[in-house]
Amino acid sequence: MSNDMFGFVGTYTRLGSEGIYTLRLNGETGELTQVSVATGLENPSFVTLDPSGEHLYAVCETSNFDGSGGVTAFNVNGATGELTQINQVSTGGPGPCHLMVDSTDSMVIVTNYAGGSVSSHMIAADGSVGEQTTFVQHEGSSVNPRRQEKAHAHSVNIDKSNKYAYICDLGKDQVLTYAMDVENATISLSSTVDEVAGEGPRHFTFHPTNQQVYVLNELGCTITLYDLGDDGTLTPIETVPTLPEGWDGENTTADIHTSPDGAFVYASNRGHDSLAIYSIDQSTGKMTLVGHEPSQGNTPRNFAITPDGKFLLAENQDSDSIVTFRRENDGTLTPTGSIINVPAPVCLQLLPVGG
């Protein structure tokens, strides 16, 4: 049986791309080839798959839906990787940049970065996305006058219990926990945790087995480890830098993922143009620096690790490339030599060929 995968790449059309690109990953060599592209969308920067792999959802990072952005639903052809649009609705706020579907394929939650808001939407049996069932406007600001002048909801992650959604708000320096009502596709605020002022929480990843999470701070260029309570609360444990000691150039971070076995955590640096690599102590969750691997391009945005942990695929937004690295047993990364050109890549989601 082939272990090839489709890769669905969200992009910025404002930077010259055509839409959402479907790639095919050779599961043995790591080589990427382009299969198709779904056109007709404006800035489908972030995409996500439902757990069945039958539907894909994409934000339209604009304000052209009567002042708001949009979310678009697609059918996925599991054999060819081609996308067929189902429908499109407004997210209620401008500049949506992240979204996630719950584990029962019942609802999608979207964060509107420019608007500093969050919306939830019911998903119908045919995969179409409904009008918003919840709209939450965040209020607040923090110490960075340019980036934290108001709330900026940056990402959403749903826990394994399918009870809580975690929102990183870069503008408020907060991670907010929302309780989910999956039956009604609604959310309600459960708790919040304040980050150190100016850190700018951006993305969030769960440890695959332990009750711990890692929050990537875009402005502070750090990773914060939290213990995860059964009630959805977060307790900070430690914070480590994503940059090497002594490096003082301009930098912001972009994406963070733990390896499938939970042994390592990776984070992307834009400016230093690298992937920071930390090993994880399995009893405490604490991190020890392994090193930094150049991303082989400019401005590494999101990246993806294959489910078998064999490859890491890094997207370099400003050099229009996706680079395949082989993951070694010690967590380090080795370029395979596979580099594919994709204009302005932002997000990458993987799906086994055949569904």
Q: Which of 343, 336, 355 is nearest to 26 (CA)?
A: 336
| Residue % of the chain over a pLDDT of 90 | 98
Q: Name residues whose C-beta falls within 8 Å of residue 51's C-beta, 6 or more positions apart in sequence.
A: 101, 103, 104, 105
Residue 1 predicted with pLDDT over 70? no
Q: What is the CATH number of domain 41-145+152-191?
A: 2.130.10.10
* Mean pLDDT within 298-308: 98
Q: What is the pLDDT of residue 355?
A: 72
Contact status, residue 7 vs residue 304, Cβ threshold 8 Å = yes
- The reported pTM is 0.97
Q: What is the pLDDT of residue 354?
A: 86
Mean pLDDT, the chain, rounded, equals 97
Q: Which helix (H) or strand (E) holds 225?
A: strand 222-228
CB neighbours (10 Å) of residue 156?
Answer: 23
Contact status, residue 23 vs residue 5, Cβ threshold 8 Å = no
Q: Name residues whose C-beta falls within 8 Å of residue 19's C-beta, 6 or more positions apart in sequence.
A: 11, 13, 37, 38, 39, 40, 41, 44
* Mean pLDDT within 171-184: 98
Cα separation, 253 vs 158, whole angstroms: 21
Report the DSSP beta bridge partners of residue 136: 118
Q: What is the pLDDT of residue 284?
A: 97
pLDDT tens-digit series, residues 117-176:
999 999 999 999 999 999 999 999 999 999 999 999 999 999 999 999 999 999 999 999
